[in-house]
Structure formats: C-alpha cells, structure tokens
Amino acid sequence: MKLGRGPVLETLRRLWPLVALVAIVAAIAIVASFAPAVPQRRTTQALINLVAVVGLYVFVGNSGILSFGNVAFMAIGAYVSALLTMKSAAKSVFLPDLPQIIASAEWPALPGALAGGAVAAAVALVVGWPLMRLSGVSASIATFAVLVVGNVVFGNWTSVTGGQNSLMGLPAYVDLWTALGWAIAALVIAFAYQETRSALLLRASREDEAAAQASGVNVVLHRLRAFVVSAFLSGIAGVLLGHFLGIVRVENFYLDLTFLIVAMLLIGGRGSLTGAVAGTIVIALLTEGLREAEIGFQVGTTNIAAPAGTGDVILALLMLIIILFRPDGIAGGRELTWPFGRR
C-alpha cells in the first residue's frame, strides 16, 4: 500500500500540522529539561508565551481583526486563579475586604486555572457582544479600549485586586512540564477550533466580509465564538504567568506584554497556527541572544555590552521590517504540510 492512503493515514495527514507542532514544542521542552535551572525557566516562560500567542491567534488569525485586548483577559485569568488558590491567611492580610466566599476559598491548582480561563471567556462573551459588531480597524481600537478599561479596573479595584500593590504569595506551581502540558492543550484547542465549520465561515468573512454576509454567514456570531475561545486561552496564559512568577502585578499586564505577544504573532505570521508557534520560538531565541548581548562579553579586560533596552528596540524594528517586506510573517499564512508525498 502506498504511503498516504487509507483512513488512518488520511486522518494523520489532516492532523499533521497539529502533530508536527506538538512534537516540535515537546522536543524543545524535553531538551530544556536537561539544561540548568536558568535556561529551563526561560523555556517555561516561552511556553507560557506560546499559550498567550496561540490564544491571540485563535481570534486574530481566523477573524482577521487585530486584537490588543487579550492581555486584559490574561489579567482576568491571573487574578481569578490567584484569588481562588491563595492561602486564606495570606488573603486576609493583603485583602481584608474580600467577600467571604472568595476569602475562604483555597482551591487546587487545576480548578483554579480552569476558573481563570472560564471567567475570562465569560467576560469576553459580554464585552464581545457589542464589540464584534464593529469591523476592521474600528474593532481593533475597541479591543484596545478593553485593554485600557481592564487596566484601570484592576489598578483601582483595591479591595479585590490589591490595586497598585502586587498580589503576592501565589502557589508557584508552574514548572516546565505544567507549561508544556498547557501549551499542548492550547495547540489542540486552537487546532480543533479552526477545523470547525464556525471557524471556516469566520475565515470566509476574513477574506471578504460582504461576500460572506451575502452568502448567509452570521459574521458577528462566529467572531464572538472565536473571541470567547481566544479569551479562554489568554486567561489560561495569564493564570500560568501568575503562578510561574508567584506574583500578580497590574503593570505586568499592560502595553509591554501586549506588544510582546502581538509582535510574536505578527512576526511568525498571523494567518496560521504554525505562524504563532514559529513567532514565539524565533522571538524567544532572539530575546535570549539579546539578553546575553546586554550582559556583555569579555574582550581582554573590557566588557563590551549593548545598552539595556536594545532588545526592545530591535524587536520593534524586526516587527517593522517583517510588516514592510513579508506582511504575512515567517509562516506566510500556511500550516506545516504532510512531508511524505502528495495525495
């Protein structure tokens, strides 16, 4: 029998982008597990970023609308999970005014994480219902408003979030394997979503909104679905970040993180899941290299180092170059294809 025939291989061929991406991500994590503690932590951080980028991709890639608001959903996830899983003794010190139910909650990690994602998704459903009626750049600006409102609320709702003070003492349970598990779960969810009929219709509206509407596609509904799935994954990414650092600080969930996540997706290519993964890996490697350059290296007795902040400038410049010369990013809107012969 020729390779590529038969129902099993047909299924494998269809699932190939997912299988290949999961294999790549898992391989990176396994290699990192043999490395010393510091590179291991950096890899964990990169895997968390991957969850965030994949979350952003679910909406941006399928709808064609750039969202700046997903970091607000990350913040929601981080705060919800923090409040549910922290020791109630710690909460009574930092947040004496919490409602009794939350103050006494000491949930295990997984339900806390799922609750973080679920609340983010629920907020997205409420917020998205009016916003998804907007199209194109108006919708992008509206998602920016979501980011700002989120920041204002979290920064000032002192009785629940601690306001400008940080929430400290989260159980720091996120290690390499937890992050890998969620990264794989995010890839599976994103892939499963983009194979649905709803996602296909949404991509039709991305290509030509008027034509899709004329063919009976309920654009607002499908956009809203993508937005909710995307917010769930972003919420999970926020949960992971909070429990990785052991601290939730409102300014960590604002413009700089938005820029990083958006840059990763756009450089990789916003049109495909492969692009999301590629962007995360490339930027993680680049950031690592630049971090070394900022620390500097020894030449004889003098230390030559790039000034601090060079990394950010180069990242912004790279994004500009990509958008000017290869607007569809590294992956160019394509998924990895079955490498063993044509159909």
Partner 1 sequence: MERLVQIVVDAVSVGSLYALTALGIGLIFGVMRLINFAHGELITLAAYTLLALSGMPVPVMIFGAVAVAVLLALLTERAAFRPLRNADPTTLLISSFAVSFFLQKLLILVVGSRLKGLDFLPALGRQTELFGVRLQLLQIVTIVVGIVLLVALTWFLKATRLGLHMRAAAEDFRMARVLGVRANNVIAVAFALSGLLAAAVSCLIVVQTGVVQPRMGLQLVIIAFVGTVIGGLGSLPGAALGGFLVGAGSILLQALLPPDLRAFREAFVFVAVVAILLFRPQGLIPARGLRERI
Q: Does 231 bind partner 1 (CB under 8 A)?
A: no
> How many Cα atoms are found within 13 Å in the side-chain-facing hemisphere of 132?
22
Answer whether 238's CB lies under 8 Å from 74's CB. yes
For the chain, the maximum distance between any two Cα atoms, rounded to a whole number of angstroms, is: 71
Q: Is residue 152 near partner 1 by the rule CB under 8 A?
A: yes
Residue 295 as a binder of partner 1 (CB under 8 A): the answer is no
Question: Which of 11, 138, 215, 337 lies at the binding interface for partner 1 (CB under 8 A)?
Answer: 138
Bridge partners (DSSP) listed for residue 248: 167
Taking the complex as a whole, how short is the minimal distance between the CB of residue 158 and partner 1, in angstroms?
9
Task: Tokens for 35, please give them.
Answer: 């490395």
Residue 64 as a binder of partner 1 (CB under 8 A): the answer is: yes
Q: Which of 6, 39, 108, 136 binds partner 1 (CB under 8 A)?
A: 136
Is 186:240 a contact under the CB 8 Å cutoff? no
Query: Cβ distance 236 to 51 under 8 Å?
Result: yes
Q: How far is the CB of 217 from partner 1 (least distance, A)?
A: 15
Which of these segments, 3-11, 143-151, 283-291, 295-303, binds partner 1 (CB under 8 A)? 143-151
Cβ proximity to partner 1: between 134 and 176 the closer is: 134
Binding of partner 1 by 88 (CB under 8 A): no
Candidates 61-69, 76-84, 173-181, 193-201: pick the segment binding partner 1 (CB under 8 A): 61-69
Tell me if residue 171 falls in helix, strand or coil: coil
DSSP reduced 3-state for 132 = coil
Per CB under 8 A, the list member of 140, 176, 185, 330 interacting with partner 1 is 140
Rounded distance between C-alpha atoms, residue 191 and residue 8, angstroms: 19
| CB closer to partner 1 out of 16 and 144 | 144
The one-letter code for the residue type at 57 is: Y
Residues in contact with 100: Cβ distance below 8 Å, sequence separation at least 6, in sequence order:
none
> Which phi and psi angles does 301 have, rounded to 5°?
-105, -10
Q: Interface with partner 1 includes 137 (CB under 8 A)?
A: yes
Which positions lie near partner 1, rule CB under 8 A? Answer: 64-66, 127, 130-131, 133-134, 136-138, 140-142, 144-145, 148-149, 152-153, 155-157, 210, 255, 259, 262-263, 266, 307, 309-310, 312-313, 315-317, 319-320, 323-324, 327
